[in-house]
Amino acid sequence: MRIEHLEFLNKDTGWKLTPTEFYPDMTLLVGGSGVGKTEILRAIRTLQSIARRGDDLPSAWGVAWRIQFTTSGNRYQWEGEYENRPKEEDQPGTGIGVLLGLTSDDELSSGPKIVMERLRVGEEVIIERDSDTIYFQQKPTPKLSPFKSALSLLKEEERIKPVIKGFGHIAYLDQTARQTGEVIHRFDALCKRFQTVDAIRESDLPTYIKLAILFENDKGSFLEIVSQFREVFPLVEEVRFDRIFVGPFADVPDLRIKEAGSESWIPERHLSSGMFRTLMHLASVALWPDESVILIDEFENSLGINCLDDITGDMMGHRHRLQFIVTSHHPYIINNIPQNHWKVVTRKGSEVRTIGAAEAGIGKSRHEAFIQLMNSPLYLDGATAQ
């Protein structure tokens, strides 16, 4: 998947992202604190949830969007809109109809309904939807859930599968909070199902679980990632996953690291944030398939200069097969990613706009560009009330 264009509006909160173009390989979102860089990534993740899950999204009240992307060799445009949140006195569950048992299941739902949705491939409209009917390839479908995206409802259709697969290949690396191994009650089954590197890459499992499965099924490929990790942290001698049993029919993988001069293994929960995040980054680059979208928020958090240097270089080296959308405040990162990959993020009230370096009048040389950015009113006054 390659995200090309995004517009996003949340009428419930008033937050609006004006039309934004992304570079096909690396987009670095730069700007002052509070301008909306993180919210842009959240908007992409929200659309991923809408497409794949389709429901259980109470935060989707009033959300409207238009996104253009390429996947499986085709260009798609997907747009949609959820209904606005009703006024408190209009919300279900408070009227006489409930007491008399006259309300429908739809009316009792606490989530928003989709009032418009459209999917195009090229110029052809595959899905057209209003508040009453879904048309798939110009034919009306049987009545389906009004709360779920048509993408989710029709995900088994051959023409929709590539879109669902594309959204499944969006990986979010959260650099602001510690990630830990997820409790997986079917880890053995996952190891049996994904036995090759290619199968692991094509899965949409979390990076941590992908790495744990790789340890079980392909030690050689696992050690290649460890070798890169040891270049950043030379004191590390070995990396492995143990099993923690959480019940008679369930166990979970637990990352452990052994350093030179120590006989003890350090469990994942005691690793430094910088070590853990560096390993997860290297694993993500290695274990997500070509044309995946890697979202990284506040890239620099808890990373020392040795980590920043290696990871920045690693990202730029893989940008031809992966799309990175990254936020950062750090001078080192901004100064080491060419300005033709920058998008300066500004906000007026609740409206967020992104501007390319050339449009912002930022110079051609990397050093000149960095100095101009740091002194630009777009950066210094990134968020204003009006």
Owner of token pair 């452990």:
256
Helix residue spans in the chain (DSSP H): 37-52, 96-99, 105-108, 150-153, 161-168, 187-193, 197-202, 207-217, 219-232, 273-287, 305-318, 331-336, 366-375, 377-380
* Pair type for strands 139-140 and 134-136: antiparallel
Domain membership flag for residue 126: no
Per the structure, the complete domain to which residue 244 belongs is given by 178-288
Domain membership flag for residue 197: yes
| Amino acid sitting at position 22 | F
> Is residue 101 within 8 Å of residue 110, measured between CB atoms?
no
Token pair belonging to 318: 């893989």
- For residue 230, is pLDDT > 90? yes
If you average pLDDT over residues 77-101, what whole number do you get?
67
247-261 tens-digit pLDDT: 665 678 889 999 999
Domain membership flag for residue 350: no
| Higher per-residue confidence, 98 vs 35 | 35
Domain membership flag for residue 113: no
161-209 tens-digit pLDDT: 999 999 999 999 864 444 444 556 688 889 999 999 999 999 988 899 9
Domain membership flag for residue 211: yes
- For residue 368, is pLDDT > 90? no
Banded model confidence at residue 282, pLDDT cuts 50, 70, 90: very high
In angstroms, the CA 330 to CA 308 distance is 10
Quote the pTM value. 0.86
Domain membership flag for residue 68: no
Domain membership flag for residue 203: yes
Domain membership flag for residue 258: yes
- For residue 6, is pLDDT > 70? yes
DSSP 294-334: EEEESTTTT--HHHHHHHHHHHHHHTTTSEEEEE---HHHH
Number of domains in the chain: 1
